[in-house]
Structure 1
Amino acid sequence: MPNKPHHNSKFIDLSHRIYDGLITYKGLPAPIMCDYLSREESKKIYGENYQVQIGKIEMVSNTGTYIDTPFHFAADGDDLAQVSLALLADLPVLVIDAKDSIEVGVHFFKDLEVSGKAVLINTNWSKHWNSEQYFENHAFLTAQAAQLLLDKGVRLVGIDSHNIDDTRGAERPVHSLLLGNNVLICEHLTNLEKVPSTGGRFYAVPPKINGVGTFPVRAFVQIKTD
């Protein structure tokens, strides 16, 4: 019999599904997904008893729900292979209710304890995922709020929107502030309305890749139910 876990847990998936043709960020190409070795072709190698499939994916690293590491904005910043697992896994969660807000400002965070936590901002923008509206006038975090979170010792900031910055201009102050101070960013989250405001643990671990600053993750929150 399999070993039983020491505690019961509930897992809440915060990731969008990635598929062939998905547009995550307007102007960036969609992933191309196909068989490198199809099940039918594998019969030539393994015979008729069983078949295997090996997939081939061509995509930019900003696809689906993904993590931003410092290398994304700075050549000397930690990349996916260098960033500490302590910044990506088992982080205490604080979910901010900013539903239907476009500009998420300082007042959402003034009286909150965020030190060492993953602060996940629920704007409800993920309801527009895979639509034209998702890209237009989307919810974002202000630079002043990012500075406050940084001053308070936040570990990671996530948002269920198209970008954590306001993309109506060319500046990306939130990315610059957070990543420049080794605070990771997780964008394009979903299902945040299902996560309790406190008590969960956040995980968003990418592959260990050299020379890349962003990559899709299977982001989730673990909630112990004992």
Structure 2
Amino acid sequence: MKVYDLTGAIESGMWGYGDPFPPVRIEPIATIEKDGFSSHSFQMHSLAGTYVENGNHLLAGTESIDQVPVDRFIKTAWVAQLSEKEALEPVSAEELEAAVGDKIKPGDALLVSTGWDKNWNKPGYVENNPFFLPEAMDWVVEKKISILGTDLTHIQDPRDDDGSLLRNLYMNDGLLIAPVVNLRKVDGIGPFTLVALPLLIPGVNSTPCRVVLMDSFNANS
């Protein structure tokens, strides 16, 4: 079985979204030489690295992510390999349809590869992010995609992100995984099985997660 790790590393000094999110700090708090064991302190936030998020991020009164059944995070998935996107270049519905439109079924997950992960931790990675056009999110919703994963830090144009595209996804019971890495290494478009489990932290709407993609075993059955 072939397994792809789509998770970006969480490390001190990594990229971030700016205020109000604090910088990520990973520090040793004990060493084998001094304490007889090794351990570390993690200081991070819910959108550190590759994370999974649900509608409670933007929609008041909805379930927190720990209340989402665990099987919602294990899905049959397809990979849309789009042309290499440059800074602030949009993703269209036509591109998504051409990549996977005749394959994906209601309830499946969609992973959108633009090649933007090559800029992980580089200047402009967040600010110059490519983005979905509203028509592209409409396409995702119309296809009844259960999980949208991308290698982008923003779904919407980062110059004018009012959250409307994500609200569209969340109001239709979708989940988001972002930003993933290594999608360009995936062989083929699917079907695969996606596993992206959030940390079990009550009351929150997103957590860092480990995202893996593997040969499919019909995860939606």
TM-score (norm 2): 0.86
Does structure 2 conserve the Cα–Cα contact (< 8 Å) formed by 1:26 and 1:135? no
How big is each residue's C-alpha offset from its partner over 1:42-77, in whole Å with a ceiling of 9 and x where there is no partner?
3xxxxxxxx322321111111001111121112322
Please, which runs of 5 or more residues in structure 1 have no aligned partner? 1-8, 43-50
Cα distance between partner residues in 2 of 1:114 and 1:125: 26
Aligned pairs, number: 208
Structural mapping, 1:1-226, within 5 Å? 9-27=1-19, 28-42=21-35, 51-89=36-74, 91-101=75-85, 102-110=89-97, 111-112=101-102, 113-195=104-186, 196-223=188-215
Change beyond 3 A, Cα 1:180–1:39:
farther
Identity in percent: 25
How far 1:198 moved relative to its partner? 0.9
With 28-37 and 55-64 compared, the bigger mean Cα shift is at 28-37
TM-score (norm 1): 0.85
How far 1:170 moved relative to its partner? 3.6
Does structure 2 conserve the Cα–Cα contact (< 8 Å) formed by 1:114 and 1:149? no
- Aligned partner of residue 42 in structure 2, secondary structure: strand
Does structure 2 conserve the Cα–Cα contact (< 8 Å) formed by 1:94 and 1:114? no
Q: Which has the larger radius of gyration?
A: 1
Cα distance between partner residues in 2 of 1:160 and 1:24: 15
Over aligned residue pairs, what C-alpha RMSD do you find?
1.9
Please, which runs of 5 or more residues in structure 2 have no aligned partner? none
How far 1:20 moved relative to its partner? 1.5
How far 1:109 moved relative to its partner? 3.3
Question: What letter is aligned with 1:31?
Answer: V
Does structure 1 conserve the Cα–Cα contact (< 8 Å) formed by 2:16 and 2:126? no
How far 1:16 moved relative to its partner? 0.8
How big is each residue's C-alpha offset from its partner over 1:175-203, in whole Å with a ceiling of 9 and x where there is no partner?
11112222000111111012221121111
Does structure 2 conserve the Cα–Cα contact (< 8 Å) formed by 1:200 and 1:223? yes
Change beyond 3 A, Cα 1:59–1:143:
same
Cα distance between partner residues in 1 of 2:33 and 2:203: 36
Cα distance between partner residues in 2 of 1:142 and 1:86: 30
How far 1:224 moved relative to its partner? 6.0
